[in-house]
Structure 1
Amino acid sequence: KVYFFNTYFYSSLSKPQKGQRAINYNAVQRWTAKEDIFNYDYVVVPINEDAHWYVAIICNLTNINRILHEEPSSEAAARSNSLGATHPRTVRHLKDYVLEEGKSKRNIDAIIEKSMNPKEIPLQNNFCDCGLFLLGYLDKFFVNPREFVTKILTREMSVERDWPDLDPKQMRNYIRSLLFKLAKEQQAE
């Protein structure tokens, strides 16, 4: 099971209230009022910072109670950034969010010990294709989430083998064609 936050989640979380230094949990707490993210295998967080898109995928939250007592390093947050940046502040914010959500929903200290920045993923060679790369990463993830995350966590991902067809130009053309097709269908209704 995958929980997908909308694109406003991270910007709301990372904007502290006056007098706060950390995350603004109050701004996003109601977003999962009827959901328990600890029931999901993966939590996907699309992020836009400084006009750049990237994605974080939080894994293994379904095992958080067991992990806290048996395997503290098994849960992880992985980020896929098409410019190769590591974003330590983002990682801290997401870890703090999971901790607060654990206290609120399950009365536990849901501590994420491990995070990683995937190395063998396609990187953009300009400053305008980050959105396309984010979509490409998510497309690959949704084909087989377990395999995608396992390959990233075990560092078995290979740009040549696993990403042969991530072409921003083709993706842009496909999205444009899809939007025109959908617009035409909507006008016909």
Structure 2
Amino acid sequence: YPPGNLRSISISQEDYDCMKPGEFLNDTCIEFYFKYLERSLEVGDPDLGEQVYCFNTFFYKQLTQTNGEGGGGAMGPGSLAEVNYKAVKKWTSKARLFERDYIFIPIHENFHWYLALICNPGKCLIEDEEKEDKDAEWLYLALTLPHLFPLPSPFIVIFDSLDGRHPRVFSHLRAYLNEEAHHKLGRAVDFSRIRGVYAKVPRQSNFCDCGVFLLHYVERFLANPKKFTQILAVSGEEH
């Protein structure tokens, strides 16, 4: 899926069996549903589709397999984690990542799926101190009066159905954004200012439904991203 596309995802019987009760969704099932959601946006809400970018299930693993090698680029002062940017540098060659408002990263660690979401990364591309002061004031108003002001400030959200804590993920993604801006835009940007929050979400009651919850989070967020962005900005738990 989708049919006739060079990057289509095919579901085998083995993949289908992963959808049975008591089984874990595998990476193919996760990517299949991501493709379905992306296609649904292309048809039903193309404007929103242009604002969304979904990494595949291998992105975070590749990014964090450093083997002692750095990313080979400019690391911002707030970036505590080492990343292997070279391994994923070409993955966004045509994506223009900083023009997207919502970047989804499915993560699989220790037999558990959870989701990271980067909101408004392009807002960190501040050109002068006057613009930075303006953004700080706007952020304050957005946090205190969210019903009157849209939130322009970027932040990273983690959705985890087991309510786990993942401080390294925030650090890895900040470092990745530093590298991406340096290599794709030729700019040294301090992404350490990006807030990190944990979303307060429904939790799984068993050991195997984490993949289903991850997909549900994405689906619900895309139903009204502006509303959920404001809710997450003011009610998410700071990491």
Normalised-by-shorter TM-score class: 0.7 to 0.9
AA in 2 matched with 1:90: V
Within 5 Å, give how 1:129-148 maps onto structure 2.
129-148=209-228
Contact between 2:101 and 2:120, CA under 8 Å: does it hold in 1?
yes
Give SS of 1:154's match: helix
Residue 196 of structure 2: aligned partner: 115
Query: Runs of 4 or more off by more than 2 Å in structure 1?
Result: 17-21, 66-69, 71-74
- Say whether residues 1:154 and 2:204 are aligned partners: no
Deviation, structure 1 residue 19: 4.2
Matched, 1:29 2:79: no
Q: Give the Cα–Cα distance (whole angstroms) in 2 for the partners of residues 67 and 87 of structure 1.
A: 31
Q: Give the corresponding residue for 1:164.
A: none
Q: What displacement does 1:125 show?
A: 1.8
> Does 2:92 align with 1:11?
no
Unaligned runs of 5+ in 1: 157-189
TM-score (norm 1): 0.75
The sequence identity of aligned pairs, in percent, is 37
So what's the TM-score if we normalise by structure 2?
A: 0.60
> Aligned partners of 2:192 and 2:57: how far apart in 1?
22
SS in 2 for 1:66: coil
Q: Please provide the CA RMSD for this pair.
A: 2.0
For residue 62 of structure 1, report the CA deviation from its aligned partner: 2.8
Contact kept, 8 Å, 1:77 with 1:112, in 2: the verdict is no
2:157 alignment partner, SS class: strand
1:51 aligned partner, one-letter code: F
Specify whether residues 66 and 29 from structure 1 end up closer, same or farther in structure 2 by C-alpha distance, changes over 3 A only: same
Check conservation: 2:69, 2:84, Cα contact below 8 A: no
1:6, distance to aligned residue in structure 2 (A): 0.6
Assess, with a 3 A threshold, how the Cα gap between structure 1 residues 68 and 116 changes in structure 2: closer, same or farther. farther
What amino acid sits opposite 2:176 in the alignment? Y
How many angstroms apart in 2 are the aligned matches of 1:13 and 1:68?
Answer: 31
Residue 128 of structure 1 corresponds to 208
Q: Which range is displaced more, 132-141 or 102-111?
A: 102-111
SS in structure 2 at match of 1:53: strand
**CA shift at 1:78, angstroms?**
0.5
Which structure has more RCO (C-alpha within 8 Å, separation ≥ 6)? 2
Shift in Å at residue 112 of structure 1? 4.2
Q: What number of residue pairs does the alignment pair up?
A: 155
Structure 1 distance, partners of 2:128, 2:234, is 21
Structure 1 residue aligned with 2:161, among 59, 82, 88? 82
- What's 2:182 paired with? 103
